[in-house]
Amino acid sequence: MDTALETDQLGKRYGDTWALRDCSLHLPAGRVAALVGPNGAGKSTLLHLAVGLLRPDAGTVRVAGVPPYDNTDVLSEIGFVAQETPLYPDFTAEELVTMGARLNRRRWDGTLARTRLAQLGIPPDKPVGKLSGGQRAQVALALALAKRPRLLLLDEPVASLDPLARREFLQALMGSVAESGTTVLLSSHLLADLERVCDYLIVLHAAQVKLVGPVEDLVAEHRQLVGPRHHGEPIRGVTEVVRASHTDRQSTLLVRTDGPVDPAWTVHEVTLEDVILAHLADGETQTSNEAWGVPA
């Protein structure tokens, strides 16, 4: 399977702080991937590295096999919608489409952009600064799609939209990428936004990759176990205990499995949200306790 985006030991540092560290992942072509993590987890940094806005401080990032930094050949194959969908507020949508044509001489489908904007009822002659947030997001998406990208990156595209505009935006996105086979990576701090549209998941937390894989596999290999008080001894069929909570007599574990589990445990299926929350909870409080100078 082709790889649309791959990173190897990728790292980016701001001063002494690593915004992203030891990030190794690969995103197969044709997937619609969700990049999930709390605010400040490094999602934007990863996307900016992928779209060549940032140069890595460690490791490599490749889009279709080529590092994107300062490489206009690759840039013309990536569609990018940045956080808060920035557009020149005094330009009309029509002028923005013209701008796209002037800046993307190699590949630009102005007809596609105009058709989309017409279908969405966006006025061509009104400054985009006066449009609603949802309409602006649609204009930004139309501009990104008009590049006919092989990889489409969207940074928190729906974060500032109301629920109705969110659904319309995601529908428009899915409708268009389904036809073209474009690989999509979109970030959000809310899984609920993306759960219905994504078939691949990358979870980032505190600058590190916590979880990567196809959604189906992730859900299939995680299980919740309930059983007698557990003290860390190995359990048959379990490769990793992601999260454990205990009462005096009973333990509840969220685990990754690779086969039938010891029948002493009651096994429950889990949702994708359970899996993500379990992985995010891991290690979350440790740094904060240190920062506040209180015991864990």
Partner 1 sequence: MIWLTWRQHRKQALFALAGLAALAAFIVPTGLAMRDTFAELGLPDCVRTLGKLGPENNEACLTGYDQFISQYGAFLLVGILFLVLPLLVGLFWGAPLIAREVEQGTHRLVWTQGVSRHHWALVKFGLIGTGALIAAIGYGLGVGWWLGPLNQVGQGDRFDGFFFDMQGLVPVGYTLFAVALGVFAGTVWPRVLPAMAGTLVGFLGLRIGLAMLARPHYLPAETLTFPVMGTAVAPNATAGDWVIASGVRNAAGELVVDGGSIECPPNPTGPGANCGADLEAGTYNWQLYQPADRFWLFQGIETGIFVALAALLLYLAIRRIRRIA
Give the residues lining the site for partner 1 (CB under 8 A): 48, 51-55, 70, 72, 75-76, 78, 80, 82-84, 86-89, 91, 95, 98-100, 102-107, 140, 143, 147
Helix (H, G, I), strand (E, B) or coil at 253: strand
* Minimum distance of partner 1 from residue 147's CB (angstroms): 8
State the minimum distance, in angstroms, from the CB of residue 53 to partner 1. 4
**Is the Cβ of residue 101 or residue 241 nearer to partner 1 in the bound state?**
101
Give the strand pairing for 250-257 and 222-228. antiparallel
CB 215 within 8 A of CB 198: yes
Only one residue has tokens 């990156």, namely: 153
Q: How far is the CB of 86 from partner 1 (least distance, A)?
A: 3
Picking from 254, 253, 248, the residue whose alpha carbon sits closest to that of residue 222 is 254
- Ranges of H-type helices in the chain: 43-50, 72-75, 93-103, 110-119, 133-145, 163-180, 191-194, 215-221, 272-281, 284-292
> Nearest approach, Cβ of 213 to partner 1 (angstroms)?
28
Least distance CB 245 / partner 1 (angstroms): 40
When the beta carbons of 82 and 270 are compared against partner 1, the nearer one is 82
Report the residue number, 8 or 91, with the smaller CB distance to partner 1: 91
Instruction: Tell me the closest approach of the beta carbon of residue 287 to partner 1, in angstroms.
Output: 25
Residue with Cβ nearer partner 1 (88 or 245)? 88
Closest CB to partner 1 among 204 and 242? 204
CB count, 10 Å around CB of 89?
A: 11
Beta carbon nearer to partner 1, 103 or 178: 103
Q: Which amino acid is at 209?
A: V
Residue indicated by tokens 């080529």: 66
Provide, rounded to whole angstroms, the least separation between the CB of residue 291 and partner 1. Answer: 26
For 234, residues 6+ apart whose C-beta sits below 8 A from its C-beta are none
- CA dist., res. 252 & res. 269, Å (int): 13
Q: Pairing state of beta strands 17-28 and 3-14?
A: antiparallel
The DSSP H or E segment spanning 226 is: strand 222-228
Shortest Å distance, C-beta 96 to partner 1 = 9
In the complex with partner 1, which residue's Cβ is closer, 104 or 224?
Answer: 104
Q: How far is CA 210 from CA 81, 87, 147, 204, in A?
A: 24, 33, 32, 6
Q: Give 53 or 244: the residue with its C-beta nearer to partner 1.
A: 53
